[in-house]
Copies of this chain bind each other. A is one copy, B any other.
């Protein structure tokens, strides 16, 4: 919108400053700790994969085995062992799993060599990620890039093969991004399941093989359609950095990855989550993956009208964390949602205010706009209309990523036809209203400008308050999503370790060095599909 709502820039500056301070404070905690999953992800980057005879991933076996060594980082002893035994990472891990080899503190004289080799291996691992990113760039350049906003839908059959069928159908109907929903409570698994799976529950297990299968299906259909189809999954829960790693090598394009979601909605220990998200984000940053943050979830437990500002505050925090992990702006799919009760008079007017504010506060980011869920009715016809107004709000405020609502949201995970109808709904609304936002300017002092101003100033208050008490304390008091969490409680607390003085992990630096930049670019689907088609001649 050329003439956007007027925003008090001093408030924006205060928000960013406070968020930076909040993130810096947590970053001190992050830099001082490591976690099970961080160490497991490190091993994965070296090439360790597979499971033992009782389906426990080898990285878990190794880290479990090395528990005493973790404060110093697993990689030094592990690489040392590889060097000593002349084994590849995988061979070493297998041997450890079989009980044939054991990890131990590296004697001082072998440290330098082990560290040098580890650094090399880390760089090789990162180079593989770069290769995948280059492949994406090449594919997008070749196949083509969809118009914005991206049309994002989920598949959730539980069976990766059915998922692939449905994902292809969705792409043909117009979807640009396919997210494979995870099976219920995978967040709480402290390991990543292995191999192809066909028996999920309300979703499909996130496994590296499932990623690969879906990636192939989407490349196939994308080529057919002349539009690169993006794949999304969840780098979230207790295995955040590991899944981020898998995504980075299987060419996922987006990842749900929030700095606080696991804490608030999965009762994952906060000291754990903050550390995990950091490595996850470094990986996402390197891989050219767009992260999606989870502020939408706040509005399912807290009231969207009253607590809309918490979304804004949290977006600033997620942005600050993202910056610290080197994510570029375009990789920040900051979350927000259309969750004001549809019975509220002028609901859409308020939603426009909220969405426009996010758009303006984060102009170079790729906001991800989430559809109505909480108040979706059993009357699917009416639900479809509410979704249309969500679609309208999205295009009218220039969102980048639109996760489409489903008319059956209140009932079941989407049927094939639900997805088709929902995409048709969105495509119509987007195309029929595409330039409406360029046609209008918002009146100053109106409902919209007031609401946006109000959200922003409350967000600033909250951020400054959080800076004062610290983010841990704020989470303890339920200041986000109305959910209270104990800093010492929650799952996975036992997997957090204070780093020893000699903690060593070359992966962090390797991920930062010589990073590529910029989004992939490709020809727009352009004239062929967007313009002219329906215009009567």
Residues in chain A within 8 A of chain B (CB atoms) = 2-3, 303, 305-306, 341-349, 352, 379, 381-382, 384-386, 388-389, 392, 407, 421, 424-425, 428-429, 431-436, 438-443, 446-448, 530-536
Contacts of A534 in B (CB 8 A): 341-345, 347
Contacts of A532 in B (CB 8 A): 345
Contacts of A345 in B (CB 8 A): 431-432, 434, 530-535
Contacts of A533 in B (CB 8 A): 343, 345
B352 touches A436 (CB 8 A): yes
Contacts of A3 in B (CB 8 A): 443
A439 touches B432 (CB 8 A): no
B341 touches A535 (CB 8 A): yes
B442 touches A440 (CB 8 A): yes
Other CB < 8 Å A-B pairs besides A3-B443, A346-B432, A440-B440, 14 of them?
A: A305-B535, A342-B428, A343-B533, A343-B534, A344-B432, A345-B432, A345-B531, A347-B534, A348-B432, A349-B434, A349-B439, A384-B384, A385-B428, A385-B429
Query: Closest residue of chain B to A306, judged by CB?
Result: B536
B382 touches A385 (CB 8 A): no
Minimum distance in angstroms from A214 CB to a CB of chain B: 27
Minimum distance in angstroms from A52 CB to a CB of chain B: 49
A-B contact pairs, 7 of them (CB 8 A): A3-B443, A345-B531, A346-B432, A348-B432, A352-B436, A389-B433, A439-B446
**Docked pose: A536 CA to B389 CA in angstroms:** 19
Minimum distance in angstroms from A418 CB to a CB of chain B: 10
B344 touches A428 (CB 8 A): no
Query: Closest residue of chain B to A418, judged by CB?
Result: B381
Q: In the complex where A382-B428, A385-B428, A440-B441 touch, is A346 in contact with B2 (Cβ < 8 A)? A: no
Minimum distance in angstroms from A408 CB to a CB of chain B: 11
Contacts of A425 in B (CB 8 A): 381-382, 385
Please list the 7 inter-chain residue pairs (A to B) with the smallest Cβ-Cβ separation, ordered nearest first.
A343-B534, A440-B440, A347-B432, A348-B432, A439-B446, A348-B433, A388-B388
Q: In the complex where A306-B536, A425-B382, A532-B345 touch, is A443 in contact with B432 (Cβ < 8 A)? A: no
**Docked pose: A442 CA to B3 CA in angstroms:** 11
Of A344, A385, A441, the most chain B CB neighbours within 10 A belong to A385
Contacts of A386 in B (CB 8 A): 428
A379 touches B441 (CB 8 A): no
**Docked pose: A116 CA to B341 CA in angstroms:** 67
Partner of A439, one of B2, B384, B407, B447: B447
**Docked pose: A387 CA to B432 CA in angstroms:** 13
A341 touches B443 (CB 8 A): no
Contacts of A305 in B (CB 8 A): 535-536
Partner of A433, one of B303, B346, B433, B535: B346
Contacts of A392 in B (CB 8 A): 389, 392
Of A381, A407, A434, the most chain B CB neighbours within 10 A belong to A381
Contacts of A306 in B (CB 8 A): 536
Contacts of A447 in B (CB 8 A): 435, 438-439
Query: Closest residue of chain B to A389, judged by CB?
Result: B432
Minimum distance in angstroms from A513 CB to a CB of chain B: 46
Of A379, A384, A439, A535, the most chain B CB neighbours within 10 A belong to A439
B349 touches A435 (CB 8 A): yes
**Docked pose: A193 CA to B382 CA in angstroms:** 40
Contacts of A440 in B (CB 8 A): 440-443
**Docked pose: A347 CA to B382 CA in angstroms:** 23
Minimum distance in angstroms from A132 CB to a CB of chain B: 36
Of A346, A441, A530, the most chain B CB neighbours within 10 A belong to A346
**Docked pose: A389 CA to B429 CA in angstroms:** 8
Query: Closest residue of chain B to A391, judged by CB?
Result: B385
A442 touches B443 (CB 8 A): no
Minimum distance in angstroms from A429 CB to a CB of chain B: 7
Contacts of A349 in B (CB 8 A): 432-436, 439
**Docked pose: A305 CA to B536 CA in angstroms:** 7
Query: Closest residue of chain B to A431, judged by CB?
Result: B345
Contacts of A341 in B (CB 8 A): 534-536
Contacts of A388 in B (CB 8 A): 385, 388-389
Query: Closest residue of chain B to A386, judged by CB?
Result: B428
**Docked pose: A435 CA to B448 CA in angstroms:** 10
B443 touches A441 (CB 8 A): yes
Minimum distance in angstroms from A149 CB to a CB of chain B: 15
Contacts of A342 in B (CB 8 A): 428, 432, 534
Minimum distance in angstroms from A289 CB to a CB of chain B: 32
**Docked pose: A306 CA to B535 CA in angstroms:** 10
Contacts of A407 in B (CB 8 A): 381
**Docked pose: A439 CA to B352 CA in angstroms:** 11
Contacts of A536 in B (CB 8 A): 303, 305-306, 341, 344
Q: In the complex where A3-B443, A346-B432, A384-B385 touch, is A379 in contact with B531 (Cβ < 8 A)? A: no
Q: In the complex where A346-B433, A421-B381, A530-B345 touch, is A443 in contact with B535 (Cβ < 8 A)? A: no
Minimum distance in angstroms from A306 CB to a CB of chain B: 7
